[in-house]
Structure 1
Amino acid sequence: MADLPTRPAGAREQAFANVCTQASTPLPAWKRLAQGGTPINCMGLSFPNRLGIAAGFDRTGKLGRRAGNLGFGAIELGSWTRESWPENHPVQCCDAVLDARLGIRLAATTPGSPDHETRQLVRLVERAWLTADYLTLAPDWLQQFVPFQQLHTNLSRLQEAQQKLENQTRKFCPIVFKLRVKPGNQDACNLVPYLASQGVDGILVSFDFGKPVTDVHYRQWQDPGLQATTCRTIEACRRHIKGSSALLTNGGVLSRQNYLDRLSAGADLVQLHNALVFEGPDIGWKLSQ
């Protein structure tokens, strides 16, 4: 692997530009690879494959569904807030070699209180409902020390808003709840059993060293021990999911073996982000085929 920049903020922007260029003119070999794909059903949606791009790489939807031209079965946009809502919404890509599902990560700004944050999220869900194939939320109250009844009440409000929109629009749009986990921490998924028991559509376990993302953090993921610990955490989460909730994960997926290990551990969908920055725009096809 080539030398990595210590602070890859500029590298990320350059990588995103390269990815958009490649997605606009996919290689003939990539089109042939797409013909051998096997779609899977997850959260009531059909995905071309189990590999996706995590939120934060494509913030506005400039790449959007063209992620399918790079071998990805899904892409998660955002985070979108009330203040940072894109002027131009992503549209269906008619020439995509894979029909990538479109997720949107939504975030409240200056939440103030759990109730205030939930009210903001409900309005954002309403606004994104017809654009997204699925939505991802990471409420602050989900991982803060708040009374359980307060947590339960706010989760119920979000689920009630989802059901109301589904009844009004006759469109099904799954909602995924994100849990951030520090890599190496095997006891950080205590909320998984509760969320699964409440019948949420999906649970995203995100292994995150925090920002800024540096070459040091990226190289840490090359440690087989850390990869093994991460897979054990995913296995523990899977054992706690008794219902129909899907298990998604991201963080530290650098190679095809990492991708396969996460699936073997029990993940239904696997996302990456930094590998696109450090490995290049063809990483999707390398991992998914």
Structure 2
Amino acid sequence: MSGIAERIVHAGYGVVFRGVFANMDPERAHHLAFGVIRALPSIPVLSGLVERYSRPPAQDGVTTMGIHFPSRFGLAAGFDKDARAIGGLGLLGFGHVEVGTITAKAQPGNDRPRLFRLIPDRALINRMGFNNHGAAAAARRLERARRNPGRPVIGVNIGKSRVVDVADATDDYLESTRLLAPFADYLAVNVSSPNTPGLRGLQELDQLRPLLSAVHDAAGRVPVLVKIAPDLTDEQIDAIAGLAVDIGLAGIIANNTTIERSGLTTPAPEVEAMGAGGLSGAPLAARSLDVLRRVRAAVPSSFCVIAVGGVTTEADVQARIEAGATLVQGYTAFLYEGPTWATRINRLRRRRLRREARAAR
């Protein structure tokens, strides 16, 4: 949309957020917004107008993993857990949409409340627990989504079903792979969420190698990436990066949410009362950049590295690209910035790329 219209919508969302959403249970607010986004493609006049002004700049496209991404900026896993709103999210300007985390078996996730806002920090704490309707149901929706010629690139993030023992995790991931890989542009193996018991232990090399090798083989030609935690040591990051390259994975997603709580503006008693879960948003920015640089230094230049964590502005996107990211994702800022977030980043990306093109003449 035009800069003026975009700013009006953004300002209006700010009023609605402060007056309504900030006083509402975060999960309920998410479902309300999600319903509108999901319905967007079914309103032809509105969807056409939104798509026209939200479209990413063509010069920001990149080809990686054998896939052409219309822009470097996309939506991270967590927002669309069941692959229900891919079309609407694409209309809002995201060049790719990573759905999930999807598990082989349907599961309700952890008990509510399980999503908390840290408004002074522009952050979230979640312990959702991979709530989703299972891989078989998601596969049917993904098959339909792929028929849309204007769809964004679709990534599918898979995780371990809660009822499955860690010892049987590989078979569980393989079930999801067999069901979902045929309808995914790429698969992301999530072994780094703090909200499923035992999951992060799968990042240990003796468990990670057979898991990733099996998923890579089962996925066939579909690129496979692994999503890692920001709480790993430098040595662990280097080891996983080396393993990913050795196995032949297509890339690494750096990174998931953190269990750290240091340096927050939100009062400590409030944070403590929220309980366990992964922290995302602006406080994660510095660590995510460090992890990104570490991963990029450990892998070949052609290896895809997707940066996620603390991305809010176009300047954040550019900083990740300059630090070596092939693609950049955001999520938490979407809840704070509203529906024109990707449009605004795309507009500023277009402006930046035009300046760079003029300077290069």
TM over 0.5: yes
Give the one of 270, 276, 288 matched to 1:230.
288
Contact 2:191–2:203 (Cα < 8 Å) also in 1:
no
Contact 2:54–2:92 (Cα < 8 Å) also in 1:
no
Contact 1:111–1:117 (Cα < 8 Å) also in 2:
yes
Supply the AA of the counterpart residue of 2:224.
Answer: I
103-112 or 226-235, which deviates more: 226-235
Deviation at 1:26, TM superposition (A): 3.3
60-69 or 99-108, which deviates more: 60-69
TM-score normalised by L of structure 1: 0.80
Bigger radius of gyration: 2
* Post-superposition CA distance 1:207-226 (Å, at most 9, x none): 41459xx9949x99556xx6
Give the one of 58, 63, 73 matched to 1:37.
58
Indicate how the Cα distance of structure 1 residues 147 and 288 shifts in structure 2: closer, same or farther if over 3 A, else same: closer
Supply the AA of the counterpart residue of 2:334.
Answer: L
| Counterpart Cα distance in 2 of 1:79 and 1:29 | 27
Supply the AA of the counterpart residue of 1:193.
Answer: G
Q: What stretches of structure 2 of length at least 5 have no aligned partner?
A: 1-13, 107-132, 193-197, 272-278, 348-361
| Counterpart Cα distance in 2 of 1:230 and 1:41 | 23
Equivalent position of 2:213 in the other structure = 156
Deviation at 1:53, TM superposition (A): 1.0
Equivalent position of 2:173 in the other structure = 121
Deviation at 1:70, TM superposition (A): 1.0
| Counterpart Cα distance in 2 of 1:21 and 1:67 | 10
Contact 1:192–1:241 (Cα < 8 Å) also in 2:
yes
Deviation at 1:20, TM superposition (A): 3.1
* Post-superposition CA distance 1:193-220 (Å, at most 9, x none): 3222332111111241459xx9949x99
Task: Provide the aligned C-alpha RMSD in A.
Answer: 3.4
Equivalent position of 1:169 in the other structure = none
* Post-superposition CA distance 1:140-163 (Å, at most 9, x none): 78842787444323332222223x
* Post-superposition CA distance 1:73-104 (Å, at most 9, x none): 111111222222236413236473xx411111
| Counterpart Cα distance in 1 of 2:249 and 2:327 | 15
TM-score normalised by L of structure 2: 0.65
| Counterpart Cα distance in 1 of 2:56 and 2:287 | 35
Give the one of 243, 253, 257 matched to 1:204.
253
Supply the AA of the counterpart residue of 1:67.
Answer: L
What SS does the corresponding residue of 2:68 show, helix, strand or coil?
A: strand
Equivalent position of 1:15 in the other structure = 33
Q: Share of identical aligned residues, percent?
A: 22
Supply the AA of the counterpart residue of 1:61.
Answer: A
1-10 or 263-272, which deviates more: 1-10
Matches within 5 A, 1:163-202: 166=220, 172-182=221-231, 189-190=237-238, 191-202=240-251
Aligned residues: 273
- Consecutive aligned runs of 4 or more in structure 1 exceeding 6 Å deviation: 185-188
| Counterpart Cα distance in 1 of 2:251 and 2:226 | 6
Give the one of 146, 149, 169 matched to 1:92.
146
Q: What stretches of structure 1 of length at least 5 have no aligned partner?
A: 167-171
What SS does the corresponding residue of 1:276 show, helix, strand or coil?
A: helix
Deviation at 1:188, TM superposition (A): 6.2
